[in-house]
Amino acid sequence: MTAKLINGAEIARQIREEIKQEVIQLKAKHNLVPGLATVLLGADPGSLSYITGKEKTARELGFYSERIDLPETTSQKDLLSLIEKLNKEPKIHGILVQMPLPEHINESEVLYAIDPRKDVDAFHPVNVGKLMIGDADYLPCTPAGIQQLLIRSGVKIDGAEVVVVGRSNIVGKPIANILMQKNKGANATVTLCHTHTRDLASHTHRADILIVAAGKLKAVTADMVKEGAVVIDVGVNQIGTSTSGKRIIRGDVDFDAVKEKASMITPVPGGVGPMTITMLMLNTLKAAKLAAGLA
Ligand code: GUN
C-alpha cells in the first residue's frame, strides 16, 4: 500500500477561508473584530519567524493584530505589567507570548498571569483542566490541528486504537486527552508512550492512528507500523540548510519507508505544521465570540 498524503497546507487554507467569512459576518452584524496581541522577547530567528507568521495570518483574516516586541532584557515585572494591561484591553481577545522565554523569566508565572479567557494557546492550568474534564473553551493549537486533519480526511476516530509517542505538555498529553474525550471527533482508545515505555513497537503496532511527537528523527520506522495505519508526524527536525539558506526539515517518522505501509500519512513539512497557526486564529475568533456573549 502507498499512503495517501494528508495535505495540511490545503486543509489549513480551507479553515482560514471559513474563519475569514465568519469575521466578515461578525463585523457586519455585531461590529465585532477579533483582536490578537503577539508578544516577543528578544530576536531568536525561529521565534521571530513563528510570531511574524501569526501576526501576518491574523491581519489576513481581518483580525485586529497588535505586535509587541520587547528587548531580551525585559524584566519579569515589566512583562507581567504588560500582560495585566492586555488582560484589561477590550480590543484584545487573545494574548500570545512566544515561547521559549529568556532564562531570567519565570515562564510559568507569565503563563499563569494571562487571563484564561484570553489564553488562546490554551496553556493556562484553567484551560488544561477544562480540557481534562471535557469542558474546554479552547484546545491547544497543535493537537487541535491534528484532530482537524483526522476529521477532515475522513479518518474514523470513534473506537479507534490511537497510540501517541511523546508526552510533552504542548502535544503528547493534550492530543491523548482530546482524542479520549466523550465527543464527536474523539471517543478513541488512547495509549500514551514515552521514553520509558518498554517495547515501544509492541504498542505502535496496534495503532489504527499513530501520532508521533517524539522529537527524534526516525523514532518510528516501518517495522513499527501496522499495515493500513494512519500516521501523523508532528516532528520538526532540522537536518541541514539548502544552498539558498532555507532550513531542511524532516519529521520523527521514517517517511519513505512508512508511506509504503500506512493508508494515510502527513508529510513534513506541509502536514501538521500549517495547522498550528490556523488553530490559533480559530481560538482567537472563539475568544472574541465568548467575550461578546456570542458563543
Ligand atoms: N513556541 C513554540 N510553539 C509555541 C506555541 O504554540 N505557542 C507559544 N506561545 N509559543 C510557542
Atom of ligand 1 nearest to the CA of 276: 6
Q: Are 215 and 167 in contact (CB under 8 A)?
A: no
Count the domains in the chain: 2
For cell 499495515, name the residue.
227
Same domain, 150 and 230: yes
My answer on whether 207 and 150 are in the same domain is yes
Find the catalytic residue in 118, 119, 121, 226.
Answer: 121
Domain range for 47 is 30-115
The verdict on the CB of residue 111 being under 6 Å from ligand 1 is no
List strands edge to edge, sheet with 64-70.
64-70, 35-41, 94-97
- Please check whether residue 8 is in contact with residue 47, taking contact to mean a CB–CB distance below 8 angstroms: no
288 found inside a domain: no
Give the E-state strand segments of the chain in sequence order: 4-5, 35-41, 64-70, 94-97, 161-165, 189-193, 209-212, 230-233, 237-241, 247-250, 264-265
214: its cell numbers: 517524539
Dist CA 269 CA 271 (whole Å) = 6
Q: What is the pLDDT of residue 255?
A: 98
pTM, full prediction: 0.97
Mutate to test the pocket of ligand 1, among 44, 99, 114 (most ligand atoms within 8 A of CB): 99
Q: Do both 149 and 77 map to the same domain? A: no
Residues 268, 146, single domain; the answer is yes
Instruction: Flag whether 283 is in a domain.
Output: no
Tell me the three cell numbers of residue 34: 477579533
Low-confidence ranges of the chain (pLDDT < 70): none
Q: How many C-beta atoms surround the C-beta of residue 150 within 10 A?
A: 25
Q: Are 124 and 112 in contact (CB under 8 A)?
A: yes
Residue 73 lies in a domain: yes
Q: The domain spanning residue 96 has which CATH number?
A: 3.40.50.10860
Cβ atoms 68, 39 nearer than 8 A? yes
Q: What is the pLDDT of residues 23-43, one digit of tens each?
A: 999 999 999 999 999 999 999
Q: What is the pLDDT of residue 1?
A: 79
How far does Cα 206 stand from its chain's mean position?
A: 25
Please check whether residue 135 lies inside any domain of the structure: no
Does residue 119's CB lie within 6 angstroms of at least one atom of ligand 1?
Answer: no
* Ligand 1 atom showing the smallest separation from residue 141 Cα: 6
